[in-house]
Amino acid sequence: MNLNCYLDVNPEVAAAVAAGKPVVALESTIISHGMPYPQNVETALNVEQIIRDNGAVPATIAILGGRLKAGLTHDEIEYLGKAGQNVAKASRRDLPVLVAKGMDGATTVTTTMMIAHMAGISIFATGGIGGVHRGAEKTMDVSADLEELANTPVMVVCAGAKAILDLGLTLEYLETHGVPVIGFGTKELPAFYTRRSGFAVDYEIDTPEELAKTFKVQRDLGLRGGILVTNPIPEEYSMDHEVINKAIDEAVAESVRLGIHGKAVTPYLLAKVKELTGGDSLDSNIHLVYNNAALAAKTAAAYCRL
């Protein structure tokens, strides 16, 4: 692959991929932009350990000094966590510029899928994906994450999407682009902080083995694109619907008032919701990521057995 001249695959990850052993990719926007320091670093390291405990090798993905990195050292994770918002949020359109300039970038779902695929990694765990924003009929604000799911063959395990988005339109977009949306143990799309959204998913699947088989069939049939697995937050960490929805409505209204646009929209809304709900939402966020990491590792292990 001629992309290899820009890509550094960590030796442990490269050995696992070459040997057909399970590997799980992880994104770095959640570290630099999604949580405050030092909880972000602590969470990122715990997530890697959970993946190991469930039989897979973790590969946290980022852009460092213009290099596409699949698999970071603990020092590199610490660096990204401390640097926080000073590291550019890197989506697809940022990638060539950051690499050419030798800069750092925190990878979103989009660029994590891209780099995972370049490194031969098929399964990726995160918190929430981007989607169609509320008011998109006027702003045309649709996350590049959806386009990436339509094109890149990586399974993304998430806790659904936050209601900062228009969840109904997000599902319509994924349907149009042929992306299977699976509820893990549920027929309803989870809404990140809560287990329910009121929107049905395409299919319920209840085991990692069946997730792995579905992904294998998608690959065997030569179908383009990925699969979105939505895994509800564990009951004990889920938030009160009213509390979270009130905070989200307020955050969305404030972003419209301030005229926030472009790549700043999602980070603005996430920070505002966090501010309005205090530490509760951070704790929920951390635990849903742990839950997704465990499911992704089990699914990666099952996929390797097929």
Applying CB under 5 A, the residues found at the interface with Mn ion are 141
| Cβ-based nearer residue to ligand PSU, 157 or 302 | 157
Establish if 195 lies at the interface with ligand PSU (CB under 6 A). no
Residue 293 tokens, joined: 């990491």
**What's the CA gap between 225 and 219, in Å, rounded?**
9
Binding partner of residue 108 among ligand PSU, Mn ion, none, CB cut-off 5 to 8 Å per kind:
ligand PSU
**Which of 200/271 has CB closer to ligand PSU?**
271
Q: Does 272 bind ligand PSU (CB under 6 A)?
A: no
Q: Decide whether 77 or 132 has the Cβ nearer to Mn ion.
A: 132
Closer Cβ to ligand PSU, 99 or 270, answer by number: 270
Choice between 10 and 29, CB closer to ligand PSU: 29
Count, residues near ligand PSU per rule CB under 6 A:
20
The one among 218, 238, 266, 284 contacting ligand PSU by CB under 6 A: 266
DSSP 49-117: HHHHHTT-EEEEEEEETTEEEES--HHHHHHHHHHGGGSEEE-GGGHHHHHHHT--EEE-HHHHHHHHH
Question: Minimum CB separation from ligand PSU for residue 155, in Å?
Answer: 15
Interface residue with ligand PSU, options 24, 98, 109, 293 (CB under 6 A): 109
List active site positions. 27, 162
For position 81 contacting ligand PSU by CB under 6 A, the verdict is no
Which member of 263, 280, 282, 287 binds ligand PSU (CB under 6 A)? Answer: 263
Binding residues among 142-181 for ligand PSU as defined by CB under 6 A: 143-145, 162
Chain residues in the site for ligand PSU (CB under 6 A): 27, 29-30, 34, 91, 108-110, 127-130, 143-145, 162, 192, 263, 266, 270
